[in-house]
Amino acid sequence: MMAALARLDMRIARSGTPLIVLTSMGALNDVFACFEQSAPQILVDSGKAELAIALGRILGVVSGRRVRELSEAEQMTLMRLTEQVEAIARKIDGFADGGLDEPLVREPGSQRVEVANARAALPDPVRVRTIIRHRQVRARFFDGELFADPAWDMLLDLTAAHSEGQQVCVSSLCIAAGVPATTALRWIGQMVEQGIFTRVEDRNDKRRAFIALSDASLDGMARYFAAIEEPLALAA
């Protein structure tokens, strides 16, 4: 089945046909590894409303131009608008089913690897994990959508993982994003396309693929943490 999906990925990539893939969280890592070339919209445990939105994204034309022809800023704006529509759709589906979806609980999805010759002086991963926990605590007291920022949450998670010498699979990163997996996948795809993230194939298992920070992003995160620490050093 994995081989068949990989062949389908190549055929779709050659033809340029838009593709929507429906899958579950449990199968996400395998599906993500198979569809490397065709850049499909991957919907995870999605309802009919999200499928309708995905079809609309394929069929729609924005300001007379297709989505791929928009600038990066315009694409980000469109993604945020789509998220708002999807959030409404999920709530409607939840009411129809008699309740809202339960929040995702992070599962172990990382693999320990050795890291040598680090190219960026990143902060202590314990500190980064503390920041991540503080961001998660907010959801206990405020609506999580008020602070929704999947890009930053994923940047923090990948920064900590890099310092810890771990590789992060796509399902684990989706959970770290703190948003529905379908939304997280859209952000991952956009950030890979912009060179913020990079896709890393598993050398030992071709059925797996990981997500990591690009060299430029590693340098950017290192400089960011150095910048926010500088005032503290001057005050001391």
Walking along the chain (236 residues) 10 residues at a time, the average pLDDT comes out as 89 88 92 90 86 75 49 64 62 53 42 45 89 86 77 94 94 91 91 93 82 94 86 48
pLDDT, residue 219, reads 92
Pairing of strands 41-44, 20-23: parallel
Compute CA distances 145 → 148, 154, 159, 207, 216, whole Å.
Answer: 5, 16, 23, 33, 29
pLDDT, residue 116, reads 43
Phi-psi region of 195 (alpha: psi -120 to 50; beta: other; left: phi over 0): left
**Are 17 and 40 within 8 A, CB to CB?**
no
pTM of the entire predicted model: 0.68
**Are 163 and 221 within 8 A, CB to CB?**
no
Q: With H, G, I as helix, E, B as strand and everything else as coil, classify residue 20.
A: strand
Cβ count within 10 A of residue 128: 23
Domains and CATH numbers, the chain: 109-236 (1.10.10.10)
Task: Classify residue 158 by burial, with Cβ atoms within 10 Å: 0-12, 13-18, 19+.
Answer: buried
Backbone angles phi, psi at 204, to 5 degrees: -90, -20
Dump pLDDT digits (tens) for 89-133: 666 555 555 544 444 334 444 444 444 444 447 889 999 999 999
Backbone angles phi, psi at 167, to 5 degrees: -100, 145
pLDDT, residue 147, reads 73
- Joined together, the tokens standing for residue 174 give 């989706």
Query: What is the full DSSP assignment across 194-235?
Result: TTSEEEEE-SS-TT-EEEEE-HHHHHHHHHHHHHHHHHHHHH
- Return the bridge partners of 197, or none: 213
Strand segments, DSSP code E, in the chain are 20-23, 41-44, 110-112, 166-169, 197-201, 209-213
**Are 150 and 177 within 8 A, CB to CB?**
yes
pLDDT, residue 146, reads 74
What amino acid is encoded at 49 in this protein?
A
